[in-house]
Structure 1
Amino acid sequence: MSTKKEFGNVRGIIFPIYKSELRKFLPMAFIFILISFCYALTRSLKDMNMIKEVGTTAIYWLKAAAITPSMIFFTILYGKVSRSTGRDGRFNAVMIYFLAFFTLSFLFLLPQRELLQLNTFFTIFEARFPNLIALWKAICHWPISLFYIHAEAWGTFALSVTFWTFVNEITAVNQAKRFYSFLSMFAALGSILAGSILKLDSVAEHFHQGLKFVIIAIVLILVIYNYFTADIKANPAYYQIQQKPKKVKIKMSFIESIKFLARSKYLMLLSILVIGYGLVIALFEAVQKDQIEQYTKLTGDDTILAGIYAQQQTAVGIISILVTLFLATPIIKRGWRFAASVTPVTALVMTVLFFTFLRFGDVFDPILKDFHLSSLYLAVEVGIYNVVLIKSVKYVLFDPTKEAVYIPLDEETKVRGKAAVDGVGSRLGKSLASVLITAMSYLFGGGGISGIRTPIVLIIIAVIILWLIAVRTLGRLKAEAEAKHEAELSSANNAQVTK
């Protein structure tokens, strides 16, 4: 156990990392910056492409019909890779796959998308099934849709599964409480960097040009990761702070791992948190993106899209850093349950504010005309900063508290359970949102999102209440699991000393 003196009040808030721990912390931070940069940039590029050429409603048809099956396929593939190779093999395989796809997209799929799209298919099916025009658009523009699917997969597998599995394996429980929120601060730098790239004229005019920066970043990730893990292998005692008891690994297929997840109340509650966030943010962003699409059509300037997403990514990064520096540590010190409740409470407050403005914002139009503004413009701005606040709290508090839940679990549960929760659970929430949006817009909204705002806000509030209930129960189970974990570590260490 460490004998180092605790930090003072100021240092404990600003940067509670020991000098001797920088050898471990900094490589993780640099990798996280680059992965988060790729996540923020590809996330913006996929939305910009879809809004400009396909339409907002088509995004949710795509999510409902294609993304969940794709994520299940990727999860099965990831499970096979994880069973046949070790930690480093998993990480490198995921990164190399995405490197290959984004390179193909940059060189061929997106530049040649007009030649590749299925215009004949669209014309035939638009005439026969006009109510499903958004779905036919998503299929017709398949290069953009395929890129959208892989950009979504990057966030799930490169960030949520692969990176955090690696971090959890080399981070002790006592370090996690200090490391994780500050890793999120470094991730915010990646978001700010992505915002800077989106401001470039070449990217604003030709969205696919942003992918060359993604390709460079993935190459750097591979270099840093393999150098770092080589040092870990050369100095295992330095990195393995706590000797964890070895478990006999039981190989499970994908179906068996899902059944295992269903038998675990602990992981099921964690799934509710992950599904809840995915459902809430997808429903919220559906309305926000609809406002952005209306505004860009009104202005007739597609380059505005890059400016909007650059503003959003930069603001997410800056606010995430401010929250990390001044709020994260005091909040986390209040306990896991309190920290885990901040994200849903923030989402609830921001949702109520945003939908209240949408309902009554047009009363300001007579005043705004004097300033050459409109309620639609303000709706876009309010939507941007509401998303910024929700995502900033998510990155700084939701992600670290979610990852901390895995630490007391055995290795098999971590790998299989994490792949199931983050690989399928995170997509399930967003896909469920897509099914709800497409069904409601088809039945009640005249095919659009603007007409279904009221049911969307009611669903969001109901989901947040369920989310908070799950946090309360999971907090109790987590405390019990940590006590058991510490007892096992103590027993293993005592047995080692006896030998």
Structure 2
Amino acid sequence: MEKQFGFWRSLAWPIHRSEVKKVLSMLLLMGLLCICYSILRNIKDTIILTAKASGAEVIPFIKVWGILPGAIAATWFYAKLRSRFNREQVFYILVGGFVTYFLLFAFIIFPNSEALNFGNLATRLHETLPVGFFGLIAMICNWTFTTFYVISELWSVLVLTVLFWGFANDITPLSQAKRCYGLLNIGSNIAPILGGFLALFIINDLIASSEVMNTDQWHHSLIKLTLLISFFACLAMGVFYWINRNIVPNEPHAVDSHAESVKKSNKKRLSLRDCIRHITKSKYLTCLALIVLGYNIAVNFTDVLWKEQLRKHFTDPNAMLAHMNQVTIGIGCIATVGGILFSILIRRLGWTFVAIITPIVMVVMAIGFFSFLFFESRLTGIAMALFGTTPLIMTVYLGSVQNCLSKAGKYSVFDASKELAFLALDSESRLRGKAAIDGLGSGVGKSGASLTYQAMILGMGSISLSAPYIGGILVAVFCAWIYSVTFVSKEFKAKSEEQEEAAAVPSEA
């Protein structure tokens, strides 16, 4: 029987002394990988938004025609690598490959981007195609920046989700994960703060330097930030090497999911088709896939509508930026608190409560947001009487709160509860299901929402006119999401009890 902690110990540090070295090393590994992604995320957005003949219009096209094919190709490539190399080798190959590309981009591709991009083709296409194709033209003609955007986004999919969490699941038993995963999420929420401060220090130092001309400051910043990313990525590989030499051999529950899968499949190689087929044969995995898809579709739908309200309300870019920074701070604070509370919530209130928090919160906030959006004229008097403001401002702030809570929920309770659901499976189902769901779920959800927006904007002319149809789709998405949580909850409870009974048999003997 596992030793119980007191209330404050269970809240702050529910870790046994024998587990401290493992938990701290995993926290360090996740922190280093998250710092890299936080810097990459800001770089990729800046490059796309400030590129010649580009702008925010290009992002929905990249999500559909760049990130979705990229996620499929990355999942296929990962499956091929896992069929030929062990877990540790695949980690070094992928992280090393990312670092090599980022260095190549900073030192060779970016300074020669004008020669490499299709500037003349862009001019001809702008003269021939309608205005609505501006984003698509920018995506194709600025292909070097589009490629960087997609590959940077794949760091989150492959390195953070598939590699790190797959490794964590392989070396962490379910009972330990319920106590440790909340702490890992805290590390993932705090790490980007450090990355942001380091990036700001580098940029401000270059701006203050008189040795660097204004025209070269951005390129110098890109080089230094890329070197910083490379440094942290190399540190992460070093930590991963140390864990595999000093922690994994002493873990009785540690497995290599791929190795176990190969044994059970008579040496049959892992393929993307097999992973998808495996999901379709399991209702448990199908519902997990719907949960991941539901979150990504809902967030991308509401995010675009919210940003449209921001555009209408804020005429000063600095005011909008200040508001966005406030939302970001809120996300970090709430996600950190949620990560601290996750371990105690999952043990005292159960998986169902934790997993259903995110969809319920999003439903409640969406009701308020869409009410003021659809019935703006009728609710003007009520908004002025109760809140002293207009319906437009109400949609801005309700959307801000929803954005804050939904993303904080993902970083604190959604991801961790999803990983616990994978742990209840056997090693083969865990490997195949995770490879396809994590590899494709995010990309398909984001790209599907962006593709829907593209079709509606082209057909109706604006985001505002498409809002009622988006609201109808969201109702169906939330219903499927909540149903999937309730089904997985029943199966998770049964599978967890089976694992605990199986683990108790040897100790009783």
Same fold by TM (over 0.5)? yes
1:277 paired residue among 279, 288, 295: 295
2-side partners of 1:211 and 1:384: how far apart?
A: 31
The answer to whether 1:386 aligns with 2:402 is yes
| Partner Cα distance (1:195, 1:64) in 2 | 28
Match of 1:419 among 428, 435, 447: 435
Q: Which amino acid aligns with 1:79?
A: A
Instruction: Quote the residue 1:337 is aligned against.
Output: 352
Task: Give the whole-Å Cα distance in 2 for the aligned partners of 1:292 and 1:104.
Answer: 37
Aligned partner of 2:252 in structure 1 is 240
Alignment of 1:326-405 (within 5 A): 326=341, 329-330=344-345, 333-356=348-371, 360=376, 383-405=399-421
| Counterpart pick for 2:480 among 438, 453, 466 | 466
Matches within 5 A, 1:34-433: 34-53=32-51, 54-130=54-130, 131-197=132-198, 199-200=200-201, 202=203, 206=218, 208=222, 210-232=225-247, 236-237=249-250, 239-240=251-252, 248-250=263-265, 251-290=269-308, 298-299=315-316, 311-326=326-341, 329-330=344-345, 333-356=348-371, 360=376, 383-433=399-449
Q: Is the 1:192–1:313 contact (alpha carbons within 8 Å) kept by the matching residues of 2?
A: no
CA RMSD across the alignment: 3.4
Q: Structure 1: how far apart are the matches of 2:424 and 2:369?
A: 38
Distance 2:445 2:68 in 1: 10
Take 1:151 and 1:431, find their aligned partners in 2: how far apart are those partners? 16
Is the 1:190–1:317 contact (alpha carbons within 8 Å) kept by the matching residues of 2?
no
Query: Counterparts of 1:1-16 in structure 2 under 5 Å?
Result: 2=2, 4=3, 6-16=4-14
Q: Distance in 1 between matches of 2:199 and 2:308?
A: 20
Q: Is 1:435 matched with 2:447? A: no
Residue by residue over 1:7-46, the C-alpha shift from the partner in whole angstroms, topping out at 9 and shown as x without a partner, is: 1112211221123211110011111112222233323333
Q: Indicate how the Cα distance of structure 1 residues 189 and 457 shifts in structure 2: closer, same or farther if over 3 A, else same.
A: same
C-alpha separation between the residues in 1 aligned to 2:40 and 2:350? 34
Equivalents in 1 of 2:498, 2:256: separation in Å?
A: 13
Q: TM (normalized to structure 1)? A: 0.85
Partner-residue secondary structure (3-state), 1:405: helix
In the alignment, structure 1 residue 452 sits paired with structure 2 residue 452: no
In 2, distance between residues paired with 1:241 and 1:337?
25
Whole-Å separation in 1 of the counterparts to 2:231 and 2:284: 39
- CA 1:450–1:212 in 2, change beyond 3 Å: closer, same or farther? farther
Q: Give how far 1:467 is off.
A: 0.2
1:7 aligned counterpart, secondary structure: coil
Question: 2:423 is paired with a residue of what secondary structure?
Answer: coil
Worse-matched range after superposition: 475-484 or 448-457: 448-457
The 10-residue stretch of structure 1 (424-433 or 479-488) with the greater mean CA deviation from structure 2: 479-488
Alignment TM-score, normalising by the size of structure 2 = 0.84
> The residue matched to 1:56 in structure 2 has which SS?
coil
Check the 8 A contact 2:180/2:343 in 1, yes or no: no
The runs of 5 or more residues in structure 1 that have no matched partner are 368-372
CA contact (8 A) 2:178 2:346 kept: no
Instruction: Tell me the alpha carbon deviations over residues 398-425 of structure 1, each in whole angstroms, 9 at most, x when there is no partner.
Output: 1111001111222222222111111012
Long gaps (5+) in structure 2: 208-216
Change (3 A) 1:312 1:19: farther
Q: Give the total of aligned pairs.
A: 480
What amino acid maps onto 2:483 in structure 1?
A: I
2:26 corresponds in structure 1 to: 28
